[in-house]
Amino acid sequence: MPGDESTAGAHNEVTGSADAIVQAGSIRGGVHLTARGPLVRSAYLEQVARIAPEELRDRGAELAELASWCSGDGEPYRWLRAPAWAGKSALMSWFALHPPEGVRVVSFFVTARLSGQSDKTAFAEVVIEQLAELLREPLPPLLTDATRDAHLLGLLGRAAAACRERGERLVLLVDGLDEDRRPGGHSIAALLPRVPVAGSRVLVSGRPDPPVPADVPARHPLRDPGVVRELSRSTHAAVARADAERELAHLLRGDETGQELLGLVAAAGGGVTAADLAELSGRPVWEVEEQLGAVTGRTFSRRGRVYLMAHEQLQQDAVRMLGGARLAGFRRRLHEWADAHRDRGWPAGTPEYLLVGYFRLLRETGEVARLTRCALDRARHARLADLTGGDSAALTEVAAAQEVLHGQADPDLLAVVRLGIHRDELVNRNVLVPAGLPEAWVRLGQVARAEALAWSLPDPAQRARALLAVSRAVAATGDAARAEAIGRVAHPWERSVRRVSEEPSPGGRRTYSGARRTSRSRVDEVLEALKRGDVELGARLAMTLPRGRRESVVWVALVRALARKGRLSRAEVVARGIKRSVSRAEALTALVVPLADAGDTARAEALATEAERVVRLADVLPEPEVVTGVLVAAASAGDVGTAEALARSLADSRQRDRALAGLVGVVARGGDVGRADAVAATVEDPHLRALAVLAVGRARGDVGRCSDEVRALVGAVRHAYERDEVRAALSAALADGGDFDGAERVARAVGNPEWRGRALVHLAGAVAATGDLDRADAVATGDQALAVVARVVGDPVRARAVPDPRWRVHALAGLVGAVSVDELVAALGEVGYTAQRVQASREVAVAIAARGEVERAERFARSIAVPSWRARALADLVPVVARTGLDRARALAGAIDDPGVRARALASLVPLCAGVEAERLVVAVVAEHEWRAVLPVLPGVRPDIASAVARDLLAVLRERAV
């Protein structure tokens, strides 16, 4: 009320969009009405309007029949079928724009001559956009090949149900099924629901040929002749066809400009703008627009800013009439145009056709080398992500290139491996999504987006944590039912979340940070100041720290502390100054909720969106284990120089030393002991250097000579666990060299029970192999050692005497000729603990197969109840089964459910093959999206590829270190 002091400072604020706003009288404080988020406004109907005729003539009967079908209770599918130029698209587009009362149409017009409008990916994305608009929901973020179809079907079901609740009927309309490019044989038709839900309808059109795609299920309605309605030819369409064909012939016989533009549009397959054609032809844009404007609507059609042939038949006629030589000349100009933009690093302003349509052209024309180069071009994919807002399009390109290469009889194996690596990089970006971002979207009212983002996380434990956080945040809003539903979905992963949270931290007993002590103490000092609330001191101290990966945690903590103090503007400045993209995204995420709480919802949404984009476009550094695997493969292939350079390129000293220590072992075993010794001398960490020195001593065959150096290094190792690891390794090396007294002295001095047990088990086996069973028995104080001795000497009596059932099975499984399968199975039944029993089952399965009873071994392995152990047991059988035939072994490996285990099983067969067969197996492993599994076997198949992969990785690490 005017003059009422109780309302001072009150204001009303509306952000987002809302259907209606009601002023509720005098309210103390501010009123903030926020919509659920950026709702979708699909522009697709504008494209449909460009297809539709200004007036639909002589189709009243067909429209009436369709209206009756929509409102009736009969067959939910209808297929309008007719040859080219019958007027199918005119009827379908008119129906989409003018549906009967009570009908909501969601449409897609398959257009083979327009880039990005002719396959299942385009269909799903366009329909998802329209369904999201109908449901008034934001688009699901981070759509990938793995999630897109599920999102489509889920939205379709919800939209159909929403329409039914409003007394309406949803119709999914798809025109031009015959123009579906079906990349890899995956069709749009196969994605259409077999049983439309909630009374919805599916209306499609197409020519009689080609037939229903092979991937459409046998009982799908599209295979039922009863859903087909033959559409009569439209006389008006026939007249349009005659006019267009006459004009096409006139253009081909006309002036140079008309011929050139026709040739370029036909060669490109459509999708080029006037500016593109001007750049390609060297003519001014106005001249191009004038020329095309004179014939648009008959020969050419315009969709937005791009031009294409007005009909698919015209596209085919133009290609045929131009002839192979002229068409090749126009396509050569397209390639030169693309090459020029590639040479410039795909700068801002790169034509959209080169980022989208050009790749489709390369696939259709079978230019595999160029197609592969595009799919591997990181700079191009970064520009494509700018255009599309994510990596989905890039992943689709990689999948398409993989499909082409994997289908070749003799593919470029290096390209196959490189594509597998690049796909991993793109997928792993989603791992970097800040943990709090899905929850932040809930606080902004965008629950659907929060769920979709959580589901996009590839790691199950990370996904579970995010879903549980979303569930809690939704519960806090009062929506208990939805919170419970989300929590219920997350439940299967709760155990993995607990397991991860209970694993030793980097500062725990088994793994240790390589941070410099001075830097770490300063980091702790900053964090302590921020914890006390002394933001100014924390900020001053933070400025003295290097801007490295370890120190990024300080800047994120500073942003959080500033936000708690309400200093949001300064916090945002600090967040934007963080160099490491993952930490910058985390800092931006930390500001979302405080900004929303402060009433600046628009800014909060902008920062949340930016955080998503930052991690999607981040350069994901390879994991240290991957770097080590690659350098070991390169060294095994003989490229020690690149392997060493790769190890030394790692910025973290601990990771670098671990990689160098791994390299020492490979080089030493390869015979270059001098170089291995030189590399070992450069390892700084005493724990890892001691292991490297031992590897050199083993290779020389004189461990005793280096044992003094190893003992001295042990004294410099800070952590007891690592000291004992080195002692156990030294004991094993001495035992293998025959110095049993020295080995036993070292083993008995090991403090950690785990490492001491391993050392004594190894020693017992080595002593038993010499025939000195009395000493072996004296050393073998544990059940595992007793089992090892029994296996080494091949004594079933000793094996049966092992007290522990688990290790008794281990002993018996190693005595293939002396123990029956029934005895093995009976011994396994005595193992009480489930975890031990399923582990021992793997050994029993291998033992059965080693006896030649392959089918029985397979049946036994498949009977293992725990899926992960069942998969591993089958993988263990693969190399054993290979002795009876590679085809059977490959079939067994291919039947394993777990993709990672399946890939490793296939990789285990590579050394057993040669030439083309070995390379085909490498392709099969990469096809499982597990390219890392081929690293150990690449040096024996294609050492040049192992070296090339190492050089690629070295270039990436050096580029990102700049």
Are 533 and 671 contacting, i.e. CB atoms less than 8 angstroms apart?
A: no
Q: What is the pLDDT of residue 622?
A: 73
The CATH number of whichever domain residue 281 belongs to comes to: 1.10.10.10
Task: State residue 298's pLDDT score.
Answer: 63
Asked if the bond preceding 210 is cis, omega within 30° of 0, the reply is: yes
Q: How confident is the model at residue 652 (pLDDT cuts 50, 70, 90)?
A: confident
Which of 210, 232, 254 finishes a domain? Answer: 232
DSSP annotation string for 527-569? HHHHHHT-HHHHHHHHTTS--STTTHHHHHHHHHHHHHTT-HH
Give the type of residue at 841: S
Q: Residue 907 — pLDDT band, cuts 50, 70, 90?
A: very high
pLDDT of 494 > 50? The answer is no
- Helices (H), ranges, 819-885: 821-829, 834-850, 854-862, 867-881
Whether residue 206 lies inside any domain: the answer is yes
Top pLDDT among 218 and 246 is at 218
State whether 383 and 303 are in the same domain.
Answer: no
Residue 320 belongs to a domain: yes
Predicted local distance difference test score (pLDDT) of residue 616: 64
Contact 737, 704 (CB under 8 A): yes
- pLDDT confidence bin for 239, thresholds 50/70/90: low
Which residue did the predictor score with more confidence, 236 or 29?
236
Distance CA 205, CA 566 (A): 59
Least confident of 279-293, 324-338, 367-381, 742-756: 279-293
Q: Which two tokens stand for residue 817?
A: 């000729």
Residues 934-944 have pLDDT tens digits of 999 999 999 99
Q: For 875-893, what is the mean pLDDT? A: 93
Query: Would you state the pLDDT for residue 906?
Result: 95
Could you tell me which of 52, 74, 62, 91 has the C-alpha nearest to residue 201?
74
Please report the pLDDT score of residue 20 as a whole number.
Answer: 34
Residue after which a domain boundary falls, among 315, 344, 373: 344
Say if residue 208 is in the same domain as residue 245: no
% of the chain residues with pLDDT over 70 = 85
* Per-residue pLDDT, 27: 29
Residue 519 in this model has a pLDDT that exceeds 70: no
Tokens representing residue 935 in the block: 């690293």
Rounded to the nearest integer, the mean pLDDT of the chain is 83
Report residue 501 as tokens. Answer: 């949270």
Domain of 349 in residue numbering reads as 345-432
pLDDT at 2 over 50: no
The sheet with strand 169-175 has its strands ordered as 103-109, 169-175, 201-206, 77-81, 228-230
pLDDT of residue 12: 38
pLDDT-based confidence at 506, cuts 50/70/90?
very low
**379 and 528 part of one domain:** no
The reply to whether 252 and 338 lie within a common domain is yes
Sorting pLDDT into bands at 50, 70 and 90, what band is 139? Answer: low
Report whether pLDDT(43) > 70.
Answer: no
Residues 6 or more apart in contact with residue 56 via CB below 8 angstroms: 63, 90, 91, 94
Per-residue pLDDT at 485:
65
Tens of pLDDT, residue by residue over 703-731, are: 888 989 999 999 999 889 999 999 999 99
Q: Is 189 inside any structural domain?
A: yes
pLDDT computed for residue 390 by the predictor: 63
pLDDT top residue among 211 and 552: 211
Least confident of 3-12, 69-78, 417-426, 572-581: 3-12
Q: State the pLDDT confidence band at 211, using cuts at 50, 70 and 90.
A: confident
- Residue 583 sits in a domain whose CATH number is 1.25.40
Distance CA 148, CA 134 (A): 18
Residues 187 and 255 grouped into a single domain: no
What does pTM read for this prediction? 0.73
More confident site: 366 or 543:
366
Read off the pLDDT of each residue in 207-223 and give the average, rounded to a whole number. Answer: 90
Residues 273, 154 share a domain? no
Residue 401: per-residue pLDDT = 93
Give the chain's length: 962
Residues 238 and 228 in one domain: no
DSSP one-letter code for 599: T
Q: Is residue 307 part of a domain?
A: yes
Same domain, 204 and 267: no
- In the chain, the number of structural domains is 4
Does the residue 286 lie in any domain? yes
Domain-embedded: residue 67: yes
Quick one: average pLDDT of 795-822? 92
Strand partners, 657: none
Whether residue 884 is contained in a domain is answered as no
Give DSSP secondary structure letters for 213-276.
-TTS-TT-GGG-GGGEEEPPPPHHHHHHHHHHHHHHHHHHHS-HHHHHHHHHHHHHTS-EEHHH
pLDDT (0 to 100) of residue 908 = 95
Indicate if 95 and 221 belong to the same structural domain. yes
Which letter does DSSP use for residue 296 in this model?
A: B
Domain boundary among the residues 179, 204, 232 is at 232
Which residues are within 8 A (CB) of 14 and not within 5 positions of it... i.e. 6 or more apart? 21, 32, 33
CATH number, domain containing residue 82: 3.40.50.300
pLDDT at 454 over 90: no
> Do both 204 and 287 map to the same domain?
no
Read off φ and ψ for residue 903, nearest 5 degrees: -65, -45
Mean pLDDT for the stretch of residues 319-327? 83
What is the pLDDT, as a whole number, of residue 836?
86
For residue 513, is pLDDT > 70? no
Both 123 and 261 in one domain: the answer is no
The pLDDT of 681-702, averaged and rounded, is: 94
In this predicted model, which residue has the larger pLDDT, 137 or 737? 737
Judge whether 731 lies within some domain: no
Both 306 and 270 in a single domain? yes
> If you ran DSSP here, which 8-state letter would residue 411 be given?
-
